[in-house]
Structure 1
């Protein structure tokens, strides 16, 4: 059974930094994002960890965990929205009081996906992989990024439909800020192994492969138990995105996931666009995707709207999804079924 929070109009949003905080010279980004949320009618509370950054983290693990646990227990808070990812969220997974979490959304990507996946696997509470708080500081959002509110407002038992983006951002251009934050210039094209159309249906799980792979072999990464306890054995669609891994390191990580049983009862795999896919001795990402499709016997789709090359769809861990890809365009319908 999966439990789904719901984001209501005027809800309370808490900003905390369970991974990296924001250095003083960038505090204006937080103020901008907070103002945008408050202009929409949300009530916003900002934790102390957001304003500090030292030694690759916002604060010591116990400080970050205390602030996060307080927000997770607070029934007044409807959404926890970290400013961005970082490096060392893994330090918190054994400090979270999973049994005390009140139903609420957690939204983000990159290092935040460790928290998202651990919470869903441990509790059956749906979490949302999508744009960070900082990505929502613009005067307006592109149609893909802006869907996070519609997705999080979906009621249990209902469905929400998202389409692949029209265009994506090739590179960051901080010297030329725009009202929309992202500079979307390149035509989006979801690619499939084999080059044809693809369909898949199953429960969504995933995140940034660089970091969620470190849950393998821990109590917080027990996918088999989660599938039996919360999904009644339904198949899983994995969505994965690569921040920094070479193709060989990505391949090693995927093999480890397979050996750990994460890909048992898999209905398909989605891989986000990545600027990190460096070939290794001629071994390319396309080679890797092809090998994985052959080994698992499932559809594999890549250059998906997910991760560090924006914009990205909002993927809900635990939701049932029907995904269709045809001629580079895609439609994903997520159904919030228990």
Structure 2
């Protein structure tokens, strides 16, 4: 699978078929390379992020990197491989009001959405709650993405294309196994030591995202929804909290370096699961809706907890109820 070549995936001409993507957390790490490949394949990509400056800086770097890669194309390839465009969309996933505003702004700019990549997330941070009273990892990785999907789903179900069905990709993690049992999402796990229980909270958030995908596939079969685990990617900023802890942070850093050398993949290789599920004709809506993919887009089975449809229904109902209690009524999901 290491021979995966994104250049073999379909390319689109934006002047003939304008294909639009929105991705959260596309300005760094895995998201950056996911955006790069979609941009090189002709997509109009909206990078949704909290810091306008960071997103704008990423856009400039992406344009330079894409231009450099295109110098290696042959003349014939340049005639068939078209660049898309890159756009900034401000969103703060720690605020449901910000999610609402971002979705509203996007709907004013675009009438169709072909690809939604729910990529942003945080990991292994101290216990904390958002202004919306959700645990920070749960809201960033899952709850805000649930709300964003609801507000944009109408733009996806209206897509008419002979090329590919609209697609939703939730970037999960092998860390969803950190939730070994089915817990109500009301559980906060605010216990000592945080270094252990923060992983429980992370696992619950990523497990909930897989539940979300499975429920979407059953409730909205006209949209292809999948979850991906990018692989062991340790050179992102996900682990910054652990590596900056006093004393023990150095041990974590050394451990991550060794583990990365033995089993890790690069940020770009980690993006390939999302890129394949976004672009490949080999991922088919009738056959593959609701599935879970891992490194380089290899189909896998998630944990028994994540794979349980009864638990998925409970997660869905909990989320709808919690959002409604906070004044964010679910409209289309």
Q: Under TM normalisation by the shorter chain, which class is it? A: 0.3 to 0.5
Larger relative contact order (Cα-Cα within 8 Å, sequence gap ≥ 6): 1
* More strand as a share of residues: 1
* More helix as a share of residues: 2
TM-score by length of 2: 0.34
